[in-house]
Amino acid sequence: MTVPTMNATADDAPLALIAQTESSAFGELYLRHAARVYRYVYVRVGQAQLADDLTAETFLAAFKSLGAYREQGAFAGWLLGIARNVVADHFRTHKPDLSLDALGDYPQDQPSPEERVGQRLELQNLRRALRYLTDEQVEVVRLRMFAELSTSETARLLGKSEAAIKMLLHRALRE
């Protein structure tokens, strides 16, 4: 997937409110957040094409739900909450592909086969390491490290205190 990589800003809330009536504003939000959402989804599903599809579903659901967005939290956190639900819905309705081939479905634009093999091994090692963590720890690692949410955004999204998020991340990294 070729994902736009504009920077998300803390000033997304006014733009999200404008996007409720002007679709061009939603396009700007897409440019700001598509890469982050894709990374989050890709880490959860491990397949580029599926991550593309679920990222698109996330933005479609967000567009349809813009009226429900409130400025109480970061737009990125709200959007990743939708992505989290889209991924969960996918796994509820589809049996996960547990084959080894599914572990390394990388985008076609990778520079060399050697690098792709190295990345596959790293991903396998990461997935192996994540198996030893609790579900809560895994989710915190995904949100903080891959989706690049702040501690406060992660806490709001998961309904926990910032101290609890810091503790979960510390314990996960220690494992």
- Residue 6, pLDDT > 50, answer no
Tell me where in the chain the CATH 1.10.1740.10 domain(s) lie.
1-95
In contact, 172 and 64? CB cutoff 8 Å = no
* Domain 112-175 in CATH 1.10.10.10: yes
Ramachandran angles phi, psi of 105, nearest 5°? -85, 85
pTM of the model: 0.59
Least confident of 20-24, 95-99, 107-111, 162-166: 107-111
Domain 1-95 in CATH 3.40.1280.10: no
